[in-house]
């Protein structure tokens, strides 16, 4: 991921403690949408002194500062990704919980045309599709 969570934290005036740096690094390197427990597991591989409570506090702080976005992607646990104003498409496997980000320029164009026909100009498009693999 091209986004440096640590840089965003510093730009937002947050003090960067050792645990926050590790959590920021884990979030910046994530190619999926980890929940807090998964963030804790990954952070602990780097520094086993980071508690689950520290991860929860850090995630809440980053969310409050607009650095992280909480996503409900069909699981019981909230998952997180860097905030952004860009268009965002997710395909969620309801059985495995796997999340695939994708681009759909033709769909985006069609949605803009639908909105334009109704007098609106789209600022942000966020789409989440939920499905299952067909039984064989």
pLDDT in tens, the chain (136 residues): 446 888 888 888 888 999 999 999 998 888 788 889 989 999 999 999 999 999 999 999 998 888 887 777 666 677 777 776 566 788 888 887 777 878 888 988 999 999 999 999 988 787 888 889 888 7
* Contact criterion met (CB below 8 Å) for 80 and 27: yes
3-state secondary structure of 123: coil
How many domains does the chain divide into? Answer: 2
Q: Which domain holds residue 122?
A: 88-131
Residue 80 contacts residue 70 (beta carbons within 8 Å): yes
Residue 84 has a pLDDT of 64
Torsion of CA 112, 66, 1, 37, to 10 degrees: -120
CATH number of residue 16's parent domain: 1.10.10.10
User: Does 136 fall in a domain?
Assistant: no
Cα separation, 134 vs 123, in Å, equals: 35
Opening angle at CA 77, ends 46 and 32, nearest 5: 50
Do 93 and 133 meet the contact criterion of CB atoms below 8 Å apart?
yes
Query: Which CATH number belongs to the domain containing residue 92 in this structure?
Result: 3.30.1490.190
Q: What pLDDT score was predicted for residue 120?
A: 93
pLDDT of res. 116 = 93
Nearest to 97 by CA among 68, 134, 132: 132
- pLDDT score for 43: 95
Is-contact 131 99, C-beta < 8 A?
no
> What pLDDT is stored for residue 26 in this prediction?
92
């Amino acid at each position: 991921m091209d986004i440096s969570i640590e840089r965003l934290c510093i730009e937002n005036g947050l003090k960067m403690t050792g645990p926050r740096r590790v959590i920021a690094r884990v979030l910046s390197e994530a190619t999926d949408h980890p929940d807090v427990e998964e963030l804790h597991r990954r952070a602990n591989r780097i520094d086993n002194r980071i508690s689950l409570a520290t991860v929860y506090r850090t995630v809440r702080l980053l969310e409050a500062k607009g650095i992280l976005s909480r996503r409900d992607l069909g699981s019981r646990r909230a998952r997180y990704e860097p905030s952004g104003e860009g268009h965002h498409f997710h395909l969620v496997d309801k059985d495995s919980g796997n999340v695939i980000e994708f681009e759909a320029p033709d769909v985006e164009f069609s949605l803009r045309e639908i909105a334009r026909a109704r007098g609106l100009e789209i600022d942000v498009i966020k789409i989440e599709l939920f499905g299952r693999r067909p039984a064989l």
